[in-house]
Structure 1
Amino acid sequence: MRKRLAALAAALLLTAPASAGGEKADLLIRHATVVDVAGARTVPDQAVAVRGDNIVAVGPDAAVAARFAAAEVIEASGKYVMPGLWDMHMHFGGGPELVEENRNLLPVYVAYGVTSVRDAAADISDSVLTWRSEVAKGALLGPTIYTSGPKLEGYDPLWKGTIEVGTPAEVDAALDRLEAMDVDFVKITDNTLKPDIFLYAVKAAKARGIKTSAHTPYALTILEAAEAGLSSVEHIDYLIKAGSPLEAQVGADYAAGKLTYGEASDRFVETFDPDYARSVYKQLAATGLAVTPTLNMGRILAYLDQEDHSDDPALALIGPGLRKTYEWRVERAAKATPEQVADRHREYELSAKVLPMLRDAGIPILAGTDAGYLNSFNYPGQALHDELQRYVEAGLTPAEALASATITGPAFLGHSDRYGAVAEGKTADLLILNADPLEDISATRGIHAVILKGQLLDSAALDRLLNEAKARAAR
């Protein structure tokens, strides 16, 4: 795979002549502007030297070019180099019959500059774990995969492919199983899981040193879950819940059967109090809790009544089986009353206002999309750029949006030493952009080249990956 990528890049990219320094590098990017995401600044006229999958030097062009001899040199004058993007909430799944359609999406992520993904629970976990290993070995083209494996749920849940638990002993056995699978974190959801077992699972995983990610039961407050050791909450609507002074009471009413899930959700929106929310968010930040907003997914679902996705170009990348899974949410949305549609709009608009409040409170924001099966018109790869656009629309700066997709993900998973910056010692997962993303977040879409673990894919190669994906989807 590495040899094929190298040959492809060499054939498709016109590069400058090899440099003539004393130290050897495989790749040298010259005259680039480096995007320092953490510093919210750009550094002009830099060179980046890559050997294997490592960045071995970054610095003033003249100095680095004099130091390294590289077989392949990219002239990047007028271009911007930044770390590869991380999608911290996506899904592989849909059952065994869709394994191949899921696998075919791996190059699509790369073509859109997404070099790492966090699979937030799969019902095809054996396949995902195989892909994780193959990508790591360079035998399969795709983003680095981090996965929870099957998620923990209660008995007879809506979701397929879960590990059903209802007692502490069953939780312990499930965690033993997940550790044996060498998962990267544990996902816990609230469809039928009892609140006390949820808390036990969070605490038990923390005691083993395992990160947890969750949908929390309505009968628990978000602060209770965070204080128990929960690492991340998935979806920003749970933070709307945390911002209601009636969170505990409404949750208790839902648990007692006095309210439906939708009615409880609407009550949280109706009773949201910004001042109260700010106080709670500061407490959540103090626990170290992170949040994956999946804001764009919320917007897509909220406005299915207004937006026709039937001609979305990205549909051509999605196989027929995965496209069919979209029907579930579309059909549910179509049955909504005018009042329910208005409630969806109102919840999204509040979600967008909550996002900068989380930032101000110091809660780490993990950029994630929820792309994958079931989640209609939220397209793998493209969705992360849409997510970052929503963040900026909601009030984050482009630098803050970029940090959520390049810095907080590696930090959450304990890999800050290898990712999050264009710097010596980091993994050579890089994007070369045509414009400055700190000036305009949409610049992340203008990808001139992707460097994936040191292997160069120029724009022609990226186009080829997308064309191949379209052909596979059509078949």
Structure 2
Amino acid sequence: MLNRFLGLMGLLPLTLSAQSLLIENATVLSPEKKQPLTSAYVRVENGRVTQVSSAPIQAKPGEIRLDASNQFLIPGLMDSHVHVSQMPGLLPDGEPKTLQQQFEIQQPRSYLYFGVTQLLDPSQSAAQLATFKRQPQHPDIYHCGATPILGGYPTVFTGPEQASKIFSYMIIQADVQQPIPAGLNPAEHTPEAVVAKMAEDGASCVKVFIEDGFGTRSDWPNISAELLARVKQAARQYNLPVMAHANAIDMQKIAVDAELDIMAHGMWNWNQYRAAQDIPDAIRQILDKVLQSGMTYQATFNVMDGLTNIMLPNALADSHYTKVVPGDILTWYHSEPAQWFKQELLRDFEGLPAERIALIQQQTISQGERVIQYLYSKGHPMVLASDTPSSPTYVAQPGLSTFNELKHMHQVGISLKDILAAATINNARAFGLSQDYGSIEAGKVANLLLLNANPLENIQAYDSLDKIILHGEVIDRQSLAAAQ
């Protein structure tokens, strides 16, 4: 009790570090347990949980004691689809650079502010990962190797020369007529070569892009079935799961038929079935194959939510933005130059009012929701994946987007119990990390959260976070808030 009292009085530091930590009197909610463990004790030594007990544990001399009476201890959350790169909404030329620097400092803190202690970046930039890891407090981060084909998405936006600099794992597909950039050795850009390089670089997965165009477009070169099979075979040699970028019915059918491991998006583009009120048979057949194969399926509601919300007045009115976005950046977001991406979206809709565009986008969101509801109704396990940021929309902010993804999952009917599993053990299992994360058990990394409310009773409990425990280091949540 003394430590808790001193902390409340401001007489203890906002971050506590120790070789040994004893959490006392907590209600432990761990997804593998059928029932909460009340009045529990958890010992952490050298950054890992060493003991979980329903009986009191005698404190060691010099051990930090943390009284968690009336609080709930859960595993740290994992968001398995984020991009640690540019500040959302930054101008295409990377300006203002001073704001980008502020963002890079705050970004990992914002994830921690919402209890996200593990991340997976499926399209990593080595430079940005290094910047992220240089910050003094940051979630544990893992990455996929992203392997587009030269000339396909997303290299269609960069051109061959720039693509060769951005995508180190790019594949050259023989039937795609693209000039091979000078200095690029085709032998180093086969499925086998790039997957071997990913494994050497410490990737946790392989990401392929199955995309022939956005909206009404369908003319972008797409990865061939033969190359897709070779990517999968190479990945199996290194025990790397294969993640597919695909969000339309025809693209997801390719990924499912290829028996890939992870779908990186919900299916919000139903193409010719857009007007359907129920789930058409063609879509149901794809989803039934997802169920049969056990494919990990990421909803990523945040993608369409971000594109919709940026159109609305007072898009940044939520008070949470002041917790995760530095004041200088918030001020810039309200400026005219910062509206460039919103204006691009408006032009794409050929002058329709913003409110009308939001209604159209809501229909798209509804399609993605129905897909997730179908999978969930059949008992398919969910995972937490926000795709932050999926586009240059400033409403999609680190940490806050993860929290909003949790809320959207609950909104479509996923139970609070299954949401806790989606944010913890399910993600850990999907990416081969369950030996270290996902539950509160002896031997696991001590990435833990102390909440003031029960997340099995209310989704808003995830916003009642009091303390983040990162590798045994106790961090006061409010110390992570952005400077205003």
Quote the offset at 1:101 in angstroms: 3.1
* Secondary structure in structure 1 of the residue aligned to 2:236: helix
Native 8 Å contact 2:72 2:451 kept in 1: yes
**Alpha-carbon distance between aligned partners in 1 of 2:275 and 2:340, rounded to the nearest angstrom:** 27
Correspondence list, 1:250-289, <5 A: 264=271, 267-271=272-276, 273-274=278-279, 276=281, 277-289=283-295
Go from structure 1 to structure 2 and tell me whether the alpha carbon gap of 1:131 and 1:366 turns closer, same or farther (over 3 Å shift): same
- Partner amino acid, structure 2, of 1:332: E
Q: Is the aligned partner of 1:86 residue 2:78? A: yes
Q: Quick one: structure 1 residues 70 and 368, their matched pair in 2 at CA, closer, same or farther if it must change by over 3 Å?
A: farther
The number of equivalent residue pairs is 418
Are 1:205 and 2:235 counterparts? yes
Among candidates 410, 415, 438, match of residue 397 of structure 1: 415
Q: 1:225 aligns with which of 248, 255, 258?
A: 255
Q: 1:304 to 1:40 in 2, by over 3 A?
A: farther
Distance verdict in 2 for CA 1:329–1:355, change over 3 Å:
farther
Q: Calculate the TM-score normalised by the size of structure 2.
A: 0.76
* Deviation for aligned residue 1:154: 3.4
Match of 1:361 among 370, 378, 397: 378
Residues 226-255 of structure 1, C-alpha deviations (whole Å, 9 max, x = no match) = 3424221122126x64xxxxxxxxxxxxxx
Offset of 1:75 from its aligned partner? 1.0
Distance 1:422 1:72, change over 3 A: same
Counterpart-to-counterpart distance in 2, 1:217 and 1:369: 14
Deviations 1:294-334 (A, max 9, x none): 11332232344444214444166157499699745422332
User: What is the CA–CA distance in structure 2 between the aligned matches of 1:387 and 1:40, rounded to whole Å?
Assistant: 25
Secondary structure (helix, strand or coil) at the match of 1:82 reads: strand
Deviation at 1:93, TM superposition (A): 1.9
User: Partner of 2:217 in structure 1?
Assistant: none
- Which residue of 2 is the match for residue 245 of structure 1? none
How much does 1:381 deviate? 0.9
Cα distance, 1:194–1:117 mapped onto 2, change above 3 Å? same
The answer on whether the counterparts of 2:147 and 2:171 sit within 8 Å (CA) in structure 1 is no
Q: Using the aligned pairs only, state the percent identity.
A: 21
Residues 20-55 of structure 1: per-residue CA shift (max 9 Å, x gap):
xxxx97111111111132345322111111111111
C-alpha contact 2:26 2:72 (8 A) present in aligned 1:
yes
CA contact (8 A) 1:125 1:150 kept: no
Mapping of residues 179-218 of structure 1, within 5 Å: 179-189=199-209, 190=211, 192-196=220-224, 197-216=227-246
The counterpart of 2:346, out of the listed 334, 340, 344, is 334
Q: How does 1:48-197 map to 2 (within 5 A)?
A: 48-62=42-56, 65-66=57-58, 68=60, 71-94=63-86, 98=100, 101-122=103-124, 124-129=125-130, 131-132=132-133, 140-155=136-151, 156-158=155-157, 161-162=166-167, 163-167=169-173, 170-172=189-191, 173-189=193-209, 190=211, 192-196=220-224, 197=227
8 A Cα contact 2:84 2:128, kept in partner: no
SS of equivalent residue, structure 1 residue 436: coil
Q: Which amino acid aligns with 1:121?
A: S
Cα RMSD (Å): 3.3
Letter in 2 for 1:92: V
Aligned partners of 1:329 and 1:410: how far apart in 2? 34
Contact 1:327 1:376 in 2 (8 A): no
Check the 8 A contact 1:82/1:422 in 2, yes or no: yes
Deviation at residue 284 of structure 1 after TM alignment: 1.2
SS of 1:73's partner is: strand
* Contact 2:149–2:173 (CA under 8 A) maintained in structure 1: no
User: Does 1:412 find its partner at 2:430?
Assistant: yes
Taking a change above 3 Å as real, the CA distance of residues 357 and 145 of structure 1, as seen in their structure-2 partners, is: same
1:51-85, CA deviations, whole angstroms, 9 ceiling, x for partnerless residues? 111111111242xx237556211111100000001
Q: Which amino acid in structure 2 is aligned with residue 464 of structure 1?
A: S
Give distance in 1, aligned partners of 2:273 and 2:34: 35
Structure 2 regions of 5+ residues with no counterpart? 1-6, 87-92, 175-186, 213-219
Q: Which amino acid aligns with 2:373?
A: P
Matched, 1:374 2:382: no
The residue number in structure 2 matching 1:302 is 308
Report the CA distance shift for 1:99/1:211 in structure 2 as closer, same or farther (over 3 A): farther
For 2:433 and 2:456, how far apart are their aligned partners in 1? 24
Hey, what's the Cα distance between the residues in 1 that align with 2:239 and 2:245? 20
Counterpart pick for 2:439 among 396, 409, 421: 421
Q: Which among 432, 447, 464 is matched to residue 479 of structure 2?
A: 464
Q: Evaluate the alpha carbon distance shift between residue 205 and residue 216 of structure 1 in structure 2; reply closer, same or farther with a 3 A threshold.
A: farther
State whether structure 2 residue 297 is matched by structure 1 residue 291.
yes
Give the number of the structure whose residues are more often helix, by fraction. Answer: 1
Distance across 1 between alignment mates of 2:419 and 2:221 = 33
Q: Distance in 2 between matches of 1:13 and 1:118?
A: 27
**1:290: how far off?**
0.9
- 1:437, distance to aligned residue in structure 2 (A): 0.3
Equivalence for 1:32? 26
- 2-structure distance, mates of 1:436, 1:340: 37
**Mapped partners of 2:436, 2:230: distance in 1:** 33
3-state DSSP of counterpart to 2:289? helix
Are residues 363 and 354 of structure 1, via their aligned partners in 2, closer, same or farther at CA, if it must alter by over 3 Å?
A: same
Q: Distance in 2 between matches of 1:388 and 1:92?
A: 20
> Does the CA contact (< 8 Å) of 2:80 and 2:119 recur in 1?
yes
Aligned partner of 1:11 in structure 2 is 12
For structure 1, the 5+ residue unaligned runs are 1-6, 16-23, 242-263
| Aligned mates of 1:419, 1:302 — CA distance in 2 | 33
Match of 1:253 in 2: none
